[in-house]
Amino acid sequence: MSETEKEAQGTTQAQSAPRLTKEQAAIIGAFTGISCGPFGDIHEYAERVLGRPVWTHQFADPAVWAELKAAVKPDFLALCYESCR
């Protein structure tokens, strides 16, 4: 198989891979701190799970991230492959 064919095959596989939902991307971003969707979705989800407003600058506070990670953990674990739970 040529390099071009390999590249084309890789592109096809990536395009046909299942995509995260908006909620799943927000959960992953809120738990890991790595965004895989719009920041606004993470912000909205964070406010919902924490039950209070979160100002944008508060995302720079390690204490807020620790609180958020603890609140999000059950949702994050629910996304994980069954043998990881």
* Distance (Å, whole) CA 43 – CA 46: 5
Q: Which two structure tokens, joined as six digits, stand for 28?
A: 């992953």
Looking at the 3D structure of the chain, how many domains does it have?
1
Q: pTM for this structure?
A: 0.76
Domain with 40, as residue range(s), is 20-84
Q: How far apart are CA 57 and CA 73, in angstroms?
A: 22
pLDDT in tens, 68-80: 999 999 999 999 8
Is 10 part of any domain? no
In a domain, 33, yes or no: yes
Three-class SS state of 19: coil
Region of 82 (left: φ > 0; alpha: ψ -120 to 50; beta: rest) is alpha
Q: Is residue 58 part of a domain?
A: yes
Is there a domain that residue 31 lies in?
Answer: yes
Look at residue 11 and tell me if it is in a domain: no
Cα gap 45→65, rounded to integer Å: 13
Confidence category of residue 2, pLDDT binned at 50, 70, 90? low
